[in-house]
A and B are shown apart, each in its own frame.
Chain A
Amino acid sequence: AQSVTQPDIHITVSEGASLELRCNYSYGATPYLFWYVQSPGQGLQLLLKYFSGDTLVQGIKGFEAEFKRSQSSFNLRKPSVHWSDAAEYFCAVGGPYNNNDMRFGAGTRLTVKP
């Protein structure tokens, strides 16, 4: 069965510093991978997705993620964090056909220090 592990429950970075959030997945076939962000009291906003093709995916708000099949990872990165990036980040994995088997990780909470 598919699953997602986000090893870091909470990460704190200084504003302007680089960021990497880790995501490891388990999926029996070609995974479809997503990163979502959730601000306090809000729903989920899609940052980026990987379906196929180039393994380095660009998203909104300056985020990017790299799919590494050999490591079963899909880590999220940003070169310079802004205070407004403080939020909860969720990695999710699904299959190639429809949305019915999407699984989310437990999330990583990002705190940004001034």
Chain B
Amino acid sequence: DAGVTQSPTHLIKTRGQQVTLRCSPKSGHDTVSWYQQALGQGPQFIFQYYEEEERQRGNFPDRFSGHQFPNYSSELNVNALLLGDSALYLCASSLATGYQETQYFGPGTRLLVL
């Protein structure tokens, strides 16, 4: 049973560029959440996707957008990259039951913006 997978593992971009990160949820899961973890900090919620729609969003600008595909995989897009976007981006999947369910995290994508 494959867990949550993310690609790429590492990425280097320059300011102003755009980046796309990818996530495949754990088998059987239909909900994907994205988190940003800056160095020395805990993860911060970016947004959550369910049934191919953004269901909830944290305090992040519109430069951060996402998508969920029919197979439940998801992408995180960040436009006009800033130095402050350098972080570990974590994807978490869960099963939507209407109630709080355990999220399972992937290994993350480390983004460095120069």
Contact = CB atoms under 8 A, between A and B. Distances in A.
Interface of A: 4, 32, 34, 36, 41-46, 49, 51, 90, 92, 94-107
A44 B90 contact: yes
A45 B105 CA distance: 7
A32 B6 CA distance: 26
Which of A44, A92, A102, A105 has the most C-beta atoms of chain B within 10 angstroms of its own C-beta? Answer: A44
A30 B92 CA distance: 23
B41 A46 contact: no
A43 B98 contact: no
Q: Could you say which interface size class chain B belongs to?
A: 20 to 34
B20 to A, nearest CB: 19
B56 A107 contact: no
Interface in B71-114: 90, 92, 94, 96, 98-108
A4 B107 CA distance: 23
Given A43-B4, A104-B44, A106-B42, A96 B90 contact: no
A99 B100 contact: yes
Nearest to A32: B100
Given A44-B105, A46-B102, A49-B102, A100 B43 contact: no
A51 B100 contact: yes
A98 B108 contact: no
| 9 nearest A-B residue pairs (beta carbon) | A100-B56, A104-B42, A44-B105, A43-B105, A43-B107, A32-B100, A104-B43, A106-B42, A100-B48
B33 interface: yes
A43 B42 contact: no
Which of A94, A95, A96, A100 has the most C-beta atoms of chain B within 10 angstroms of its own C-beta? Answer: A100
A106 B39 CA distance: 10
A106 B94 contact: no
